Amino acid sequence: MKISQALVGAVLIGASLAACSGSSDGGDDAGSSYCKDIKAAKPTFETLASGDLSELEKGFTTFHRLADEAPDELKDQWKVLDDAADSVEDKLKEAGLTFDDLPDIQAGKLPEGVSVEKLTAFAADLQKLNNDTFAEARTEIGKQAKDVCGVELGAG
Protein backbone atom coordinates (compact mmCIF):
# COMPACT_ATOMS: atom_id res chain seq x y z
CA MET A 1 0.00 0.00 0.00
CA LYS A 2 1.33 3.43 -0.86
CA ILE A 3 1.44 5.75 2.12
CA SER A 4 -0.44 8.42 0.18
CA GLN A 5 -3.42 6.08 -0.18
CA ALA A 6 -3.98 6.48 3.55
CA LEU A 7 -5.23 9.98 2.83
CA VAL A 8 -7.97 9.07 0.35
CA GLY A 9 -10.71 9.60 2.93
CA ALA A 10 -9.27 12.93 4.01
CA VAL A 11 -9.17 13.99 0.38
CA LEU A 12 -12.81 12.97 0.06
CA ILE A 13 -13.62 15.28 2.94
CA GLY A 14 -11.55 18.03 1.37
CA ALA A 15 -13.37 17.63 -1.92
CA SER A 16 -16.65 17.71 -0.07
CA LEU A 17 -15.69 20.97 1.53
CA ALA A 18 -15.62 22.39 -1.94
CA ALA A 19 -19.28 21.53 -2.43
CA CYS A 20 -20.88 23.22 0.56
CA SER A 21 -23.07 26.27 1.24
CA GLY A 22 -26.17 27.73 2.95
CA SER A 23 -27.24 30.80 4.99
CA SER A 24 -26.48 31.80 8.58
CA ASP A 25 -29.10 34.42 9.16
CA GLY A 26 -32.10 32.37 8.13
CA GLY A 27 -32.24 34.17 4.80
CA ASP A 28 -31.44 32.43 1.56
CA ASP A 29 -29.68 35.17 -0.34
CA ALA A 30 -26.22 35.71 -1.68
CA GLY A 31 -25.73 38.62 0.73
CA SER A 32 -26.14 36.49 3.85
CA SER A 33 -23.18 36.12 6.19
CA TYR A 34 -23.17 32.39 5.47
CA CYS A 35 -22.80 32.95 1.74
CA LYS A 36 -20.04 35.45 2.44
CA ASP A 37 -18.28 32.84 4.58
CA ILE A 38 -18.57 30.27 1.78
CA LYS A 39 -17.08 32.72 -0.71
CA ALA A 40 -14.23 33.54 1.69
CA ALA A 41 -13.54 29.83 2.24
CA LYS A 42 -13.47 28.97 -1.47
CA PRO A 43 -9.64 29.15 -1.88
CA THR A 44 -9.05 26.82 1.07
CA PHE A 45 -11.70 24.39 -0.16
CA GLU A 46 -10.23 24.39 -3.66
CA THR A 47 -6.77 23.66 -2.25
CA LEU A 48 -8.21 20.65 -0.43
CA ALA A 49 -10.26 19.51 -3.41
CA SER A 50 -7.06 19.45 -5.48
CA GLY A 51 -5.66 16.87 -3.07
CA ASP A 52 -3.31 19.25 -1.26
CA LEU A 53 -3.91 18.62 2.43
CA SER A 54 -1.67 21.39 3.74
CA GLU A 55 -4.76 23.41 4.68
CA LEU A 56 -6.87 20.54 6.02
CA GLU A 57 -6.85 21.78 9.62
CA LYS A 58 -7.90 25.27 8.50
CA GLY A 59 -10.51 23.69 6.25
CA PHE A 60 -11.96 21.61 9.07
CA THR A 61 -12.15 24.64 11.37
CA THR A 62 -14.04 26.53 8.66
CA PHE A 63 -16.15 23.47 7.90
CA HIS A 64 -17.28 23.12 11.52
CA ARG A 65 -18.20 26.81 11.64
CA LEU A 66 -20.19 26.57 8.41
CA ALA A 67 -21.99 23.46 9.66
CA ASP A 68 -23.01 25.42 12.77
CA GLU A 69 -24.33 28.22 10.52
CA ALA A 70 -26.28 25.95 8.15
CA PRO A 71 -29.86 26.90 7.34
CA ASP A 72 -32.60 24.65 8.72
CA GLU A 73 -33.26 23.00 5.36
CA LEU A 74 -29.66 21.75 5.26
CA LYS A 75 -29.02 20.89 8.92
CA ASP A 76 -29.27 17.14 8.29
CA GLN A 77 -26.95 17.25 5.27
CA TRP A 78 -24.42 19.35 7.14
CA LYS A 79 -24.57 16.96 10.09
CA VAL A 80 -23.53 14.10 7.79
CA LEU A 81 -20.52 16.05 6.50
CA ASP A 82 -19.59 17.54 9.86
CA ASP A 83 -19.74 14.11 11.51
CA ALA A 84 -17.42 12.83 8.77
CA ALA A 85 -14.95 15.64 9.49
CA ASP A 86 -15.12 14.79 13.19
CA SER A 87 -14.43 11.16 12.32
CA VAL A 88 -11.34 12.08 10.30
CA GLU A 89 -10.05 14.18 13.20
CA ASP A 90 -10.65 11.29 15.63
CA LYS A 91 -8.98 8.77 13.32
CA LEU A 92 -5.95 11.05 12.93
CA LYS A 93 -5.51 11.10 16.70
CA GLU A 94 -6.02 7.34 16.99
CA ALA A 95 -3.32 6.77 14.38
CA GLY A 96 -0.93 9.03 16.25
CA LEU A 97 -1.00 11.61 13.45
CA THR A 98 -1.42 15.36 13.36
CA PHE A 99 -2.58 17.60 10.56
CA ASP A 100 1.05 18.67 10.14
CA ASP A 101 1.98 15.06 9.27
CA LEU A 102 -0.34 14.85 6.28
CA PRO A 103 1.81 16.66 3.69
CA ASP A 104 4.76 14.42 4.60
CA ILE A 105 2.58 11.33 4.24
CA GLN A 106 1.46 12.59 0.83
CA ALA A 107 5.14 12.85 -0.07
CA GLY A 108 5.63 9.21 0.97
CA LYS A 109 7.31 9.86 4.32
CA LEU A 110 6.13 7.97 7.40
CA PRO A 111 6.13 10.26 10.44
CA GLU A 112 8.29 9.18 13.38
CA GLY A 113 6.35 7.02 15.82
CA VAL A 114 3.61 6.10 13.32
CA SER A 115 3.52 2.51 12.17
CA VAL A 116 2.41 1.29 8.77
CA GLU A 117 -0.27 -0.70 10.61
CA LYS A 118 -1.70 2.45 12.17
CA LEU A 119 -1.60 4.21 8.83
CA THR A 120 -3.34 1.28 7.15
CA ALA A 121 -6.07 1.28 9.83
CA PHE A 122 -6.46 5.05 9.35
CA ALA A 123 -6.94 4.55 5.60
CA ALA A 124 -9.50 1.77 6.15
CA ASP A 125 -11.50 3.91 8.56
CA LEU A 126 -11.49 6.81 6.13
CA GLN A 127 -12.75 4.65 3.28
CA LYS A 128 -15.95 4.11 5.29
CA LEU A 129 -16.81 7.74 4.56
CA ASN A 130 -17.23 6.98 0.87
CA ASN A 131 -20.94 6.13 0.89
CA ASP A 132 -24.23 7.20 -0.72
CA THR A 133 -25.45 9.21 2.30
CA PHE A 134 -22.25 11.24 2.28
CA ALA A 135 -22.44 11.81 -1.50
CA GLU A 136 -26.11 12.85 -1.35
CA ALA A 137 -25.49 15.36 1.44
CA ARG A 138 -22.55 16.81 -0.44
CA THR A 139 -24.63 17.13 -3.62
CA GLU A 140 -27.54 18.90 -1.91
CA ILE A 141 -25.25 21.35 -0.12
CA GLY A 142 -23.29 22.02 -3.31
CA LYS A 143 -26.50 22.71 -5.25
CA GLN A 144 -27.54 25.34 -2.73
CA ALA A 145 -24.07 26.91 -2.86
CA LYS A 146 -24.59 27.51 -6.55
CA ASP A 147 -28.31 28.32 -6.56
CA VAL A 148 -28.54 30.49 -3.44
CA CYS A 149 -25.08 31.93 -2.93
CA GLY A 150 -23.99 32.05 -6.55
CA VAL A 151 -20.76 30.23 -5.68
CA GLU A 152 -19.46 27.41 -7.87
CA LEU A 153 -17.34 25.42 -5.45
CA GLY A 154 -17.09 22.05 -7.07
CA ALA A 155 -19.05 19.23 -8.50
CA GLY A 156 -22.06 19.29 -6.27
Averaged over 121-136, what is the pLDDT? Answer: 78
Q: What value does the mean pLDDT take over residues 2-18?
A: 48
Amino acid at 156: G
Tell me the C-alpha distance between 63 and 74, whole Å: 14
Report which of 77, 65, 93, 96 is spatially closest to residue 19, judged by C-alpha positions.
Answer: 77
Closest CA to 67 of 82, 56, 57: 82
Amino acid at 118: K
pLDDT the model gives residue 5: 41
pLDDT tens digits, 90-124 = 888 888 888 888 888 888 888 888 888 888 877 77
φ, ψ of residue 17 in degrees (nearest 5): -55, -30
Question: What's the pLDDT band for 54 if we cut at 50, 70, 90?
Answer: confident
